[in-house]
Structures are given as C-alpha cells and as structure tokens.
Amino acid sequence: MPGRPPMRLTDLAESEQRLFELARQEMPLAELAVRLGVPVGDAATRLEALCARLGVEGRDGLRALTFDDGPSAAAPIVTADEPHRYSRRRILSAGIAGGLAVAAGGAAVGYWATRGGSGSPAAASPTATTTPGSTASATQTAFDLIKPAASDTWESRTFAPGQEIDWDAGIFFMDVGSGAVEAWRLTQAGTPDGQPAVTPLIRSFFGGELVVAQAGDNTLALNRKNGARWQWPSHELFLSDYVAGCYVFRDTLYGNGSGPQSPVYFAQAGLHLQSAFTVDTRGISPQFVASPDRRRVAYVDGGVEDAPFQLHLRDIATGKQVAEQTVGTAGDGLGMMRVVSIPSSNVIVISRSEPSVDSRGNPVAHPRSVRITAPWSGEWNKLQQTDGPPLDGLSPDGKSEASMTVMLSQMGVGGFYWPALVMRGPDGAERFAALSVATPLGSSVEGSWLADSSALMVMHSGGKEGGGFYDNYSYSLLDPHSGAFTPLKLPALPGNASPYAALYEFPPSPSPTDPQIVALGPTAALNRATDRFVHANLGQYQPPLFSNPWSGRRNEIAWSLPVPGKDGPQVPFLIPPKLIHGDLPTAPFHFTVAQTGDCLNMRDTPSLKGNVMACLADGTPLTLAEWPTPQAAPYVSYTANADGMWVYVSTSGGLTGWVAAAYLDWAV
C-alpha cells in the first residue's frame, strides 16, 4: 500500500512489538518501564533504539506509523488482559508476540485496539444506576464474511513419540502422556500466489479444537475434531476470545470507521452465530468472563472522559443485557480494570492505580487499588467496594491470592529486579511474603498454580557457589498456606548439559487440568506422579520462547514453526528466599552473611578471580551499596556472570565490595 513502510509489524522481535504497542499509549516513561519489567533507563534506551530502527522521531512518530499488518495512527493500541488463568504483563516473558495465532479458545489473538477517542482510565466509584433488560444492537455483516474454505487448504501428519519432526512450518500438538505429535500446516492451495506455507506463532487458547492461520489477506480456520474449514478477510474480522464454549469474534482490529461502538459476535464450535451485541471501544478493550453456570458474561468497557467505565452483564444465548453499572469515572487516577470470576459466584472487578514510582523511577511495592464485588444475579443496586492490594493471581478454587511485586530498590543493568511474591487469603488478608521468589513466567501468577490449587510453581535461587548464571535458579512448589517449598525434580533434558539452563529457557508451566503434570516449555512435559518424561524431537528447529504451552485440550501442549521473532527473557536477581510476615523491605536493603561454614570472601570485582579484601563471618550485617564506577549505570548493585550472582555491599565499618549472593540472608 503506498506510503506504508515495507516492514511488517511481525518482522519486529517480540520485545519490539510489545514496546511498540505500549509506547503508542499515553503513559509516562516510568509506567512503560514497569509494564516492561525493566529499569526506566533501560526502557528509554530500548525506545530510542526502536525509533532509530523504524526511522521515526520519538513516540509521536511511533503513533503516526502504519504497517501493512499493524495499527495506524487512527487506531491507538490498548493491550488487554489475557483470560482468567494467564495475566497480561510478563516480566520474565519480555513481551507478547503479535500477529495471528492458533486459537483453541481463551486469549486474545494479535493486538487489541480502540477505534477513536482518548483519555486516561478512571477510578472505581459505583453508583446506584442499573438498567436491566436493555439490549444492544449489532450488525452481523462482519460475521457473515465467514465462508467455507476449500477442502485442500490444510494437511495433517502424526509423528510417533521421539520421531524427528522435519516440517519447517506448521502447528504441532503433543500428547503429554504418549509423546505423539499431531501436526497441521497450510497447503500450497491455502496460500496466496503459490507462496510457501507459513504458519504464524501459536498462542494458547482454551477449547483445543480451532486452529487459525493467516494466508495473505485471509484468515484460514480449521476444526481439528471434524476437519471443517473456513476463511474470512483478516482486516474485517478477528477471533478474540473463547468464553463458555463460544468463540468470540470482533470487528477488524485496526479500525474501519465503525465509530466508538464495535460489534461482538458469540459463535458456537461450528462457527454458527449465537448472539451479537456492541461494546464501547473508546477506552479499554473488554475482557469477557463467564459465570460459573456458563450462561452469562461480564465485562468492563469505556474508560475515557466522555465514556466512564461500565460493568455489563449479558446473557450469552441472546446477547441481551441483564445489568449495567458505572464503576469508574475519568480523572480519579486509577488505571487498568479487569473482571475476574471466582467459584463463590461473584464477579470481582479489579481497579488498579497507575504504578507510582520513587525519585529514581523505580516502582513502589503496593499501588492503590479498589475492588468491586457484584453478584451474577444482576442485582446491582448496591455494589460492595473495598480498598486493597491488586488481585493478580487467584487460585483455581478462589481460596488463595498470589501476586508478584517489584520491591522498591535500585534497579541494576541487564533488566535484573528484586522480586517478591505475596500470598493472601480470599479476603485479601496477607498470609506471608516470599522474598527473592518469582513465578517462572514473571507476573503470570495465575498460570503457575497447580490445577487443584495445592501449590504455586515458583522460581528461586539455587544457591550454587561458583555456578553459572542459569545454575543459580531452582523451581519448587510453594504451599499457599505454610509457605513450604517442595523442589521440582528435574529430568535430564536431551542436548543440554544443565537441566536448569534448559528450564530457564523453557520455564515450567503446570497443566490447567492435571495437578501432576508440568510442561517444561512447549515441547516437553513431566508427570510428577510417575516421573515419566516426554520430549518432542524437533531436530534443527526450535519452538518459540515463553508462550503458554497448553493448547486447550486436556494434557496437550502445542507450538508452531517458524518462529516470527524471539527475545531473551528479563530475569530476576535472586538471593536465597525468605518468608516474612509484614511489610516488604525498602531500600537500602540489609542482609547478613549466612551458612558459609567459615566466612564469606569480599572481593574487589564480581568474579572468583577478584582480589579478596576481607572474609566476613556468618552473621555479619551488610547493606546494599552503589557501585561507583563510570563504566556502569549509576545504581548498579548486583550482577551475574559465569561465576554466579554477586551483590555489591558495605559493612558497618564502611568497607565495600562484591560478595556471592548465595551466602546472603535477608535481615528482616
């Protein structure tokens, strides 16, 4: 198209796509850094590099940029939360891949966008206004664009357990019990102009039946169960969700002059329209949550000055609105809203403040939030509102809350940060905090729960003196009540000298249906009850990093080839974990020397080859210090290399130097 750059949005790496979508929004640099999980200085450097690569001047240039497959200036991007078990922001994941996806139900495909209007999201302030019975109208024109596709658009193959996979493009589903792999790819007949068949990056969806890929300007869909095939224009209609057994379609992602109201279509497995209604797209993009009986959906839309946040309740079968309530107005300082369904038959609306930062641009530990509880019955004349911490990771049974936070601290180079995990009861009362503990996929806490809610998969320091950077990480199951750690027994992964290194690249992800099964990335799985380990043989090919591997079918993981872009992770800096009750530490952090058996060497450089300046006895108090060197960022206090993790500290007598992190304990 004339005037557009030759680059496609999916040519960017995952982290660049994530940065691009965030930088186009009206948010301060500090908040952008928080959402990326990096220091403010790091975010500024990345932003400058992205603008240089795309040949534009600053964030205004990014907003005006148009891609062949991406947003234009008329469609400011607003990222949306993924559904219940997987939260949107991923500190370790370092970004969300864009483009079309494999849909087996549940998370958003590609990028969410609004169609016009702007403004800051608002605070929750319920009113007594309820309008049950109102019905929104929607055109079905876009949905009618779904047509049957030719019978030869897809081909399939089954790879036996351990058989080398020699397809360079396709979508692959592995049974974690047998190790057999079901593969699908587009045929030449399914691609435009005889181009090679290419299947884009897979995304995780519940449902497990529908596979979606892009061929030129068309979206091609396949029902794996019965072989039915469909197609529709990609820029007119997109699949956005899977809710209560229905596929949810939205109007074109990037805007077609449809105005502030956008049609939503709920369709059954055969892509037969069940209901349709409109949503307000001027603010946040709605995230749909189903009631426990799967008959109703709740969502929040709006969130700009002339369109306050509205909580809606609709009947799935008819699209009829059961209730509506204003839950936020512009200008109150509260940002992101999400709707969460819990087994107690309530709708929980979470409103979180835009992250606060200190003088150095580092996030504070506990931003203010508001919770609004609304019953599924639709009797919303009086909603319950409480202040409390953000609800980030609700257990499947609704009886525990786990949230990741970044403790107030100096933020070092390389994207390291100081994480803590806070565990609470269903009433929001804190049970304990685990310092230097992270979930394997960063802030994706919900996806780290075992299916029976008995434990949370966490990542912590392995405490290996002199070991490599990867060897300093271990994975355990954290009991949500006692705080006890149960180590995950790691199998020897093929082709890797260190299983920790392999799991660092492909973090463990518990099955959403079977508490005994853990995926080790998208191509391997471990049954903890039987110690059975299955691993796909990809030969020379490698799957994408950091995607949720669960396809939606029970005990099945999935990936796609080729990979449209990879990115390295943003990793936490971890010393041995510690459980505490009460407030999290604040900078400067204080430690003690622990469990050396003798004393801990303090060196002039972060290396086993560094000169020993002193040997510190167990129990010696230490304080996190700033390394005064012109070669590093102003606030470097910790680093990691082939010799392990190192912390720059000072003694009470003023001696400063580097010590091995494995022999420190939190002085709290």
pLDDT digits (tens, 9 = 90+) for 29-62: 766 765 665 556 567 777 877 887 787 878 877 8
Residue 296 forms part of a structural domain: no
Chain segment 231-260, per-residue pLDDT in tens: 998 888 888 888 988 999 988 654 343 457
- Residues forming beta bridges with residue 147, ordered by sequence position: 231
pLDDT greater than 80 at residue 396? yes
Determine the residue type at 3: G
Residue 618 forms part of a structural domain: yes
Percent of the chain with pLDDT over 90: 26
Element (DSSP H or E) covering residue 370: strand 369-375
Q: Please count the other Cβ atoms lying within 10 Å of the Cβ belonging to residue 531.
A: 9
Residue 627 forms part of a structural domain: yes
Residue 59: CATH number of its domain = 1.10.10.10
Please list, in sequence order, all residues whose beta carbon lies within 8 angstroms of the beta carbon of residue 50, skipping any fewer than 6 positions away.
Answer: 16, 19, 20, 23, 62
Determine the residue type at 37: G
Residue 638: CATH number of its domain = 2.30.30.40
CA Rg value for the chain: 25
3-state secondary structure of 159: strand
Q: What pLDDT, on a 0 to 100 scale, did the predictor assign at position 30?
A: 60
Burial profile 179-200: b = 16 or more Cβ within 10 angstroms, e = fewer: bbbbbbbbeeebbeeeeebbbb
What is the band of 14 on the pLDDT scale with cuts at 50, 70, 90? low
Task: Output the DSSP codes for 74-115.
Answer: TS-B------TTS-S--TTTT----S----SSBS--S--B--
Determine the residue type at 115: R
Copy the structure tokens of residue 586: 């604040």
Task: For residues 437-455, give the mean pLDDT.
Answer: 85
More confident residue, 182 or 549: 182
Q: How many domains does the chain have?
A: 2
Copy the structure tokens of residue 297: 């959906």
Determine the residue type at 313: L
Chain segment 457-475, per-residue pLDDT in tens: 998 887 665 556 666 788 9
- Pairing, β 485-487 against β 401-406: unpaired
Among 18, 48, 64, the domain-final residue is 64
What is the chain's mean pLDDT, rounded?
A: 74
Residue 373 forms part of a structural domain: no
Residue 402 forms part of a structural domain: no
Among 64, 92, 110, the domain-final residue is 64
Residue 170 forms part of a structural domain: no
Q: What pLDDT, on a 0 to 100 scale, did the predictor assign at position 183?
A: 92
Chain segment 152-171, per-residue pLDDT in tens: 888 999 999 999 999 888 88
> Are 63 and 56 within 8 A, CB to CB?
no
Task: For residues 563-571, give the mean pLDDT.
Answer: 55
Provide the residue range defining the domain that includes 19.
9-64
Residue 325 forms part of a structural domain: no
Three-class DSSP labels, 165-212? CCCCCEEEEEECCCCCEEEEEECHHHCHHHCCCCCCCCCCECCCCEEE
Q: What pLDDT, on a 0 to 100 scale, did the predictor assign at position 61?
A: 79
For the CA atoms of 383, 387, 388, 392, the dihedral, rounded to the nearest 10 degrees, stands at 50
pLDDT greater than 70 at residue 428? yes
Give pairs for 461-464: CB < 8 Å, separation 24+.
461/436, 461/574, 461/575, 461/576, 461/577, 461/645, 461/661, 461/662, 462/500, 463/576, 463/662, 464/644, 464/662
Q: Please count the other Cβ atoms lying within 10 Å of the Cβ belonging to residue 620.
A: 20
What is the band of 192 on the pLDDT scale with cuts at 50, 70, 90? low
Q: What pLDDT, on a 0 to 100 scale, did the predictor assign at position 281?
A: 78
Residue 643 forms part of a structural domain: yes
> Are 437 and 459 within 8 A, CB to CB?
yes
pLDDT greater than 60 at residue 78? no
Please list, in sequence order, all residues whose beta carbon lies within 8 angstroms of the beta carbon of residue 645, skipping any fewer than 6 positions away.
Answer: 461, 469, 472, 573, 574, 575, 638, 639, 660, 661, 662
Tell which residue, 158, 217, 222, 159, has the closest CA to residue 186.
222
64: which DSSP letter?
A: H
